[in-house]
A and B are shown apart, each in its own frame.
Chain A
Amino acid sequence: MKRIDYLANPTRFMRLAAVLTPWMGWATVLLAAVGLYLAFFVAPPDYQQGESVRIMYVHVPTSWMALFCYVSMAVAAATGLIWKHPVADLVAKCTAPVGAAFCFLALLTGSLWGKPMWGTYWVWDARLTSMLILLFLYLGYIALVNAFDDPARGAKASSILVLVGVVNVPIIKFSVDWWNTLHQPASVIKMGGPSIHPTMLWPLLLMALAFTTYYVWVLMVRVRGEIIANKIRVLRLKQVHG
C-alpha cells in the first residue's frame, strides 16, 4: 500500500508524471515506428490469410489494450472507492476514453478482417458480443462520470459501474474456450505456448508494447490536465468567496 499512498498525493504524482511523460512519448514513437515497419514490410504473409494477416498487428494489440485499460480502470476505481485516493479516481476517469478508443478500434479492425476471411462483417457470437458489451460499459462509464455536478459523487457512482462490469473481462478472454464461436481461440496467451510463428509474434509484441506506452503517455498527460483543472477550480471558488 505504501506505493499507492505515495502516488495518492497529487503533487508527488505531478512530479512523477512530469518525468515519465516525455519518456513514454518517445518510447511510443520509436516502438510504433519499428513495430509498424516490421508488421508491414518484414513480417511474412500468412499461409491461409495472405496479406490480410497484417490487420492482426493492430487488431490484437488494441483488443488486449481494451481489456488492459478496463482492468486498470477497475483497479483505480476500487482504490478510489475504498481508500478514497483522489488521484485514483482521476486515473479511472482518464483511462476510460483511451480504453473506449482501443475497444472501438479492435471491433472495427476485426470487422474489416472478418469480411474477407469469414465472409461477414459481424456475427453475434460470444466473443464479438462480449467485446461490444465492453464498449458499451466504457461509454456508460464516460456518460455517468460526467453526469454529476459534484465530481466526487460522479466518481463514486461510476466506480461502482466499472466494478460491476469487470465480470465481463474473464468472459471476453475465455468466451472462445467456453462456447463454440466463430472467432478463433487465443494464439499467444494460451497453454502450450504461442501457435504463431516467431516472425509474426515479434512485430505483434512490439506493437503491443507501443500501444502500452501510448496508454501510459496519454494517461499521464490527461491526469496532469485534470489535476491542474482542479487547482484552477479551487482558486476560482476562493476568488468568488473571498
Chain B
Amino acid sequence: MKRKHKRLSFVLVALVLLAGAVGLMLVAFEEKIVFFYGPSDVLEKAPPADKRLRVGGLVEKGSIEKTAGSTVVAFRITDINATVPVTYDGILPDLFREGQGVVTEGYYRNGVFEADEVLAKHDENYMPPEVADALKKSGQWQHMKDQLEESGQIEKKKK
C-alpha cells in the first residue's frame, strides 16, 4: 500500500470511529439536549415541584385568560393528546396567540405550570399574508396536527 493510501484509510477509519463515538454520546444525552417537553411528557413523568423545566406546545384555542389591570395571564398548552394549564406574569412575545407554538419555562406545581418565561416558537412556513388568507379561505390550511408534528412542536413518535 502506498503511503498516501495508508493516510487515506487512516483518516476514513478515524472519522467513522469518531462519528460513532459522538453518535453514542448524543443518544446518551438525549434527555439533556431536548429543549422542552410536551404536555404528554409532563403528565406522564410528573416532575418534582422544585425542578425547573420547559414545556412547549400549542396555545389552546379559547384558553387565554388575561387579568385586567395586570400582566398576569393564564392559558393552556396542548399537544392534542394532553393539555397543561399555565400561569405567567410578564410581557408576552409578539407572536403569542391562540394556536401558536410556545415554549414556557418554570415549575410544575399542583398540576399547574408556573412559568416565568414565555418564548414564541416560529414554524418553517414563510408566505405573504394574502397567501395565508387565501389558504385559510379555501380550507387548504394544513391540519393543525400535521403542522405540529412537522415543526416538532409535538413529540414525534419515539423510536
**A residues adjacent to B (C-beta < 8 A):** 44-49, 53, 56, 78, 81-84, 116-120, 123-126, 163-164, 166-167, 171, 176-182, 184-187, 190, 195-197, 199-200
Q: B129–A177 contact, CB under 8 A?
A: no
Q: Is the interface of B mostly helix, strand, loop or mixed?
A: mixed
- Known contacts A49-B122, A185-B151; A117 and B127 CB within 8 A of each other: no
**Please, how many residues of chain B have a CB less than 8 angstroms from a CB on the other chain?**
45
Q: B34–A46 contact, CB under 8 A?
A: no
Q: A184–B122 contact, CB under 8 A?
A: yes
Among B3-11, B43-51, B59-67, B106-114, the stretch that binds chain A is B3-11
Give the chain A neighbours of B94 by CB distance below 8 A. Answer: 116-117, 119
Residue of B nearest to A181 (CB): B35
Q: A195–B124 contact, CB under 8 A?
A: yes
Give the chain B neighbours of A182 by CB distance below 8 A. Answer: 35-36, 103, 119, 121
Q: Is the interface of A mostly helix, strand, loop or mixed?
A: loop
- Selected contact of B127 from candidates A56, A166, A197, CB within 8 Å: A197
CB distance from B115 to the nearest CB of A (A): 12
Q: B34–A179 contact, CB under 8 A?
A: yes
Q: A126–B127 contact, CB under 8 A?
A: no
A sample of 20 more A-B contacts (CB under 8 A), given A45-B129, A47-B133, A184-B151, is A44-B130, A47-B129, A47-B131, A47-B132, A48-B95, A49-B95, A53-B126, A84-B4, A116-B93, A117-B93, A117-B95, A119-B96, A120-B117, A126-B33, A182-B103, A182-B119, A184-B124, A190-B124, A195-B125, A197-B128
Q: B19–A167 contact, CB under 8 A?
A: yes
Q: B122–A197 contact, CB under 8 A?
A: no
Residue B22 CB within 8 A of the other chain: yes
**B residues adjacent to A (C-beta < 8 A):** 4, 7-8, 11, 14-15, 18-19, 22, 26, 30, 33-38, 56, 92-96, 103, 117-133, 150-152, 155
Give the chain A neighbours of B118 by CB distance below 8 A. Answer: 119
Give the chain B neighbours of A180 by CB distance below 8 A. Answer: 34-38, 56, 152, 155
Residue of A nearest to B135 (CB): A47
CB distance from B30 to the nearest CB of A (A): 7
Residue from B11, B123, B126 having most chain A Cβ neighbours under 10 A = B126
- Selected contact of B11 from candidates A45, A56, A82, A167, CB within 8 Å: A82
Give the chain B neighbours of A200 by CB distance below 8 A. Answer: 126-128
CB distance from B116 to the nearest CB of A (A): 12
The distance in angstroms between the C-alpha atoms of A195 and B95, with both chains bound, is 19
Give the chain B neighbours of A186 by CB distance below 8 A. Answer: 124
Give the chain A neighbours of B122 by CB distance below 8 A. Answer: 48-49, 117-118, 184
- Selected contact of A44 from candidates B4, B11, B124, B128, CB within 8 Å: B128
The distance in angstroms between the C-alpha atoms of A93 and B95, with both chains bound, is 42
